[in-house]
């Protein structure tokens, strides 16, 4: 029997705001990397919750978390795991919500095993997989923002502004480089 999932860290402007994104890590050692996801979600002002749940060491809790995620208000789940990295697949098997997998570096294969375990899901149980490490954690949160923006005009506008700012930053960097090259 699955255990009842417990609330852990929830960041929201008020206690009445339910988290929209669940960040689930297979180990607390994944936290330094997954702080990248948190930073992005906070930049967009999106409430989230963060949990450590192992697909192998606490499978009942993983099942309970995923199967109750929607009723608790979550819209997207970000999963981070290393080595065998079954967490994303276990969560995806027990929810209709989109699951984004972040493979973690480490172990004997330096993350290749977690990458393959996350990306090679069987037909019918998708896990959207991003890059390993900090870039992956950052992009996982951006992908979650994009998913949420489909149904929320304010989030959509914030994301569009984010893209415009990135474009302007590249333009400014090119201008600075061209000036530097001309000055010799």
CATH code of residue 72:
3.40.50.1970
Check whether residue 96 and residue 37 sit in a common domain.
yes
Check whether residue 159 and residue 143 sit in a common domain.
no
Relative orientation angle of helices 31-43 and 133-149, to the nearest 10 degrees: 30
- 95 in a domain, yes or no? yes
- 4 in a domain, yes or no? no
**Average pLDDT along the chain:** 93
Check whether residue 59 and residue 144 sit in a common domain.
yes
Domain count, the chain: 2
pLDDT per position as a tens digit, 153-164: 999 999 999 999
Check whether residue 176 and residue 116 sit in a common domain.
no
Check whether residue 75 and residue 160 sit in a common domain.
no
Check whether residue 147 and residue 178 sit in a common domain.
no
Check whether residue 117 and residue 171 sit in a common domain.
no
pLDDT at 9: 52
Check whether residue 38 and residue 80 sit in a common domain.
yes
Check whether residue 129 and residue 180 sit in a common domain.
no
Check whether residue 30 and residue 71 sit in a common domain.
yes
Domain span at 174: 154-184
- Rounded to whole angstroms, the Cα distance separating 50 from 9 reads 5
pTM of the full structure: 0.90
pLDDT per position as a tens digit, 97-118: 999 999 999 989 999 999 999 9
- Rounded to whole angstroms, the Cα distance separating 155 from 151 reads 8
pLDDT at residue 14 greater than cutoff 50: no
pLDDT per position as a tens digit, 63-106: 999 999 999 999 999 999 999 899 999 999 999 999 999 999 99
DSSP 55-118: TTTSHHHHHHHHHHTTTTT--EEEEEE-TT--HHHHHHHT-SS-EEEEE---TTTTTHHHHHHH
């Amino acid at each position: 029997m699955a255990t009842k999932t417990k609330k852990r860290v929830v960041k929201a402007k008020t206690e009445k705001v339910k988290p929209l994104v669940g960040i689930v890590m297979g180990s607390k050692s994944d936290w330094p990397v997954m702080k990248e996801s948190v930073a992005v979600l906070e930049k967009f002002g999106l409430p989230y919750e963060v949990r450590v749940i192992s697909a192998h060491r606490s499978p009942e809790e993983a099942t309970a978390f995923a199967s109750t995620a929607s009723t608790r208000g979550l819209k997207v789940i970000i999963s981070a795991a290393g080595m065998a990295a079954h967490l994303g697949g276990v969560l995806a098997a027990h929810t209709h919500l989109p699951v984004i997998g972040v493979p973690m570096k480490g172990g004997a294969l330096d993350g290749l095993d977690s990458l393959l375990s996350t990306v090679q899901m069987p037909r019918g149980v998708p896990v959207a997989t991003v890059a390993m490490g900090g870039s992956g954690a950052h992009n996982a949160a951006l992908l979650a923002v994009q998913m949420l923006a489909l149904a929320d005009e304010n989030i959509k506008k914030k994301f569009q502004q984010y893209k415009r700012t990135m474009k302007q930053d590249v333009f400014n960097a090119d201008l600075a480089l061209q000036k530097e090259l001309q000055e010799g």
